[in-house]
Amino acid sequence: DAGITQSPRYKITETGRQVTLMCHQTWSHSYMFWYRQDLGHGLRLIYYSAAADITDKGEVPDGYVVSRSKTENFPLTLESATRSQTSVYFCASSDLMNLSGNEQFFGPGTRLTVL
Protein backbone atom coordinates (compact mmCIF):
# COMPACT_ATOMS: atom_id res chain seq x y z
CA ASP A 1 0.00 0.00 0.00
CA ALA A 2 1.17 3.48 -0.79
CA GLY A 3 1.80 5.87 2.07
CA ILE A 4 3.55 5.80 5.38
CA THR A 5 3.14 2.92 7.79
CA GLN A 6 4.28 2.24 11.31
CA SER A 7 4.65 -1.01 13.19
CA PRO A 8 3.71 -2.15 15.66
CA ARG A 9 0.66 0.01 16.34
CA TYR A 10 0.67 -0.93 20.02
CA LYS A 11 3.54 -2.15 22.16
CA ILE A 12 3.90 -2.93 25.85
CA THR A 13 7.37 -3.49 27.19
CA GLU A 14 9.28 -3.45 30.45
CA THR A 15 11.81 -1.03 31.81
CA GLY A 16 15.30 -1.77 30.53
CA ARG A 17 14.27 -3.66 27.41
CA GLN A 18 15.27 -2.63 23.92
CA VAL A 19 12.41 -1.71 21.62
CA THR A 20 12.44 -0.83 17.92
CA LEU A 21 9.63 1.04 16.23
CA MET A 22 9.46 0.71 12.48
CA CYS A 23 8.53 3.33 9.89
CA HIS A 24 8.20 2.74 6.16
CA GLN A 25 7.20 5.18 3.39
CA THR A 26 6.56 4.45 -0.27
CA TRP A 27 6.90 7.96 -1.71
CA SER A 28 10.72 8.08 -1.79
CA HIS A 29 10.58 11.24 0.30
CA SER A 30 14.01 12.54 1.26
CA TYR A 31 13.11 13.65 4.77
CA MET A 32 11.80 11.51 7.58
CA PHE A 33 11.01 12.45 11.15
CA TRP A 34 10.22 10.86 14.50
CA TYR A 35 8.02 12.69 17.00
CA ARG A 36 6.61 11.79 20.36
CA GLN A 37 3.21 13.08 21.46
CA ASP A 38 2.55 13.67 25.13
CA LEU A 39 -0.32 15.42 26.87
CA GLY A 40 0.55 19.04 27.49
CA HIS A 41 3.54 18.96 25.17
CA GLY A 42 2.06 18.48 21.74
CA LEU A 43 4.50 16.86 19.33
CA ARG A 44 8.22 17.03 19.97
CA LEU A 45 10.86 16.09 17.44
CA ILE A 46 13.15 13.23 18.47
CA TYR A 47 15.30 12.71 15.37
CA TYR A 48 15.11 13.47 11.70
CA SER A 49 16.87 12.39 8.55
CA ALA A 50 17.57 14.33 5.38
CA ALA A 51 18.52 11.27 3.31
CA ALA A 52 19.86 7.75 3.66
CA ASP A 53 22.76 7.65 6.12
CA ILE A 54 22.12 11.26 7.24
CA THR A 55 20.45 11.73 10.61
CA ASP A 56 20.32 14.55 13.15
CA LYS A 57 18.98 15.19 16.62
CA GLY A 58 15.77 16.96 17.34
CA GLU A 59 14.48 18.47 20.56
CA VAL A 60 14.34 15.30 22.71
CA PRO A 61 16.89 12.74 21.39
CA ASP A 62 18.18 11.29 24.67
CA GLY A 63 17.54 7.56 25.06
CA TYR A 64 16.79 7.05 21.36
CA VAL A 65 18.81 5.80 18.40
CA VAL A 66 17.91 5.98 14.71
CA SER A 67 19.33 4.67 11.49
CA ARG A 68 18.50 5.10 7.84
CA SER A 69 20.23 2.62 5.61
CA LYS A 70 17.44 2.82 3.01
CA THR A 71 15.46 5.87 1.92
CA GLU A 72 12.13 4.23 2.67
CA ASN A 73 12.83 3.01 6.23
CA PHE A 74 13.55 4.96 9.39
CA PRO A 75 13.53 2.76 12.51
CA LEU A 76 13.59 4.26 16.00
CA THR A 77 15.22 2.24 18.79
CA LEU A 78 14.86 2.72 22.51
CA GLU A 79 18.04 1.10 23.74
CA SER A 80 16.90 0.68 27.35
CA ALA A 81 13.28 1.71 27.74
CA THR A 82 12.23 3.88 30.66
CA ARG A 83 8.75 4.73 31.95
CA SER A 84 9.20 8.32 30.81
CA GLN A 85 9.32 7.01 27.24
CA THR A 86 5.70 5.87 27.47
CA SER A 87 4.14 7.91 24.69
CA VAL A 88 2.60 7.88 21.25
CA TYR A 89 5.26 7.94 18.55
CA PHE A 90 4.65 9.37 15.09
CA CYS A 91 6.77 8.98 12.04
CA ALA A 92 6.48 11.53 9.23
CA SER A 93 8.00 12.12 5.83
CA SER A 94 8.37 15.07 3.51
CA ASP A 95 9.81 15.85 0.12
CA LEU A 96 11.53 18.98 1.34
CA MET A 97 11.99 20.71 4.66
CA ASN A 98 9.51 23.14 6.09
CA LEU A 99 10.95 26.43 4.92
CA SER A 100 9.89 25.32 1.49
CA GLY A 101 6.39 25.07 2.89
CA ASN A 102 6.20 21.38 2.27
CA GLU A 103 3.65 19.27 4.05
CA GLN A 104 4.78 16.50 6.35
CA PHE A 105 2.85 13.25 5.94
CA PHE A 106 2.27 11.37 9.18
CA GLY A 107 1.94 7.71 9.93
CA PRO A 108 -0.86 6.38 12.17
CA GLY A 109 1.34 6.27 15.27
CA THR A 110 2.63 3.66 17.69
CA ARG A 111 1.34 3.67 21.25
CA LEU A 112 4.18 2.51 23.48
CA THR A 113 3.72 1.64 27.15
CA VAL A 114 6.77 0.99 29.32
CA LEU A 115 5.96 -0.80 32.57
Q: Which of 1, 42, 62, 69 binds another protein (CB under 8 A)?
A: 42
Q: Which of 22, 52, 65, 97 binds another protein (CB under 8 A)?
A: 97
Nearer to another protein, 43 or 65 (CB): 43
Judged by CB under 8 A, does residue 98 bind another protein? Answer: yes
* Helix (H/G/I), strand (E/B), else coil: 83: helix
Distance, in Å, from the CA atom of 8 to the CA atom of 30, rounded to the nearest integer, reads 23
CA 87 vs CA 44, 68, 98, 100, 109: distances in Å: 11, 22, 25, 30, 10
Judged by CB under 8 A, does residue 74 bind another protein? Answer: no
| DSSP character at residue 82 | -
Q: Do the beta carbons of residue 114 and residue 15 sit within 8 Å?
A: yes
The piece of 21-29, 33-41, 60-68, 70-78 that touches another protein (CB under 8 A) is 33-41
Which stretches of the chain bind another protein, using CB under 8 A?
4, 35, 40-45, 48, 58, 90, 92, 97-99, 101, 103-109
